[in-house]
Amino acid sequence: MGTRVKKNDKVMIMSGKDRGKSGKVLFVNKMRTRLIVEGLNIVKKAKRPDQQNQKGGIIDIEAPLSISNVMVVCPKCGKPVRLKSRMLENGKKVRSCGKCGEMLDKA
Ligand SMILES: [Zn+2]
């Protein structure tokens, strides 16, 4: 499939506590089932003291989201859209917006 979410995509969260918020994808796991979005799905985590933080304490971290809970935001439409896979003349496959056809990958 050529329509998957990739690192650095802008995505919107479609369910859960951060529904409707969008951010940049920082990480997609190898199985392509989970991802981390910058600044979203924040959870508090207890941290043990270490060299950087001698006291330890509670820190905020971005928890992974299920990839099925996000949609890519088209830079042109500005909305979450379904992606289509498009074959270019040079044989390269790129992802494009299902609505306006904007390419999301470099040709
Ligand atoms: Zn679009």
pLDDT at residue 2 above 70?
no
pLDDT of residue 37: 98
How far lies 72's CA from each of 10, 13, 85, in Å?
6, 9, 13
Q: Region 72-95: what's the mean pLDDT?
A: 94
Higher pLDDT, residue 76 or 48: 76
Distance from Cα 86 to the centre of ligand 1, integer Å: 14
Task: State the distance from the centre of ligand 1 to the C-alpha of 98, rounded, in angstroms.
Answer: 7
Does pTM surpass 0.75?
A: yes
- Identify whether the C-beta of residue 97 lies closer than 8 Å to the C-beta of residue 83: yes
Separation of CA 70 and ligand 1 centre (Å): 16
For residues 105 and 36, give the distance between their C-alpha atoms in angstroms, rounded to a whole number.
Answer: 20
pLDDT band for 56, please (50, 70, 90 cuts). confident
Which pLDDT score is estimated for 39?
96
| SS3 state of residue 63 | coil
Find the mean pLDDT for residues 44-73. Answer: 91
Of the chain, the percentage scoring pLDDT greater than 70 comes to 98
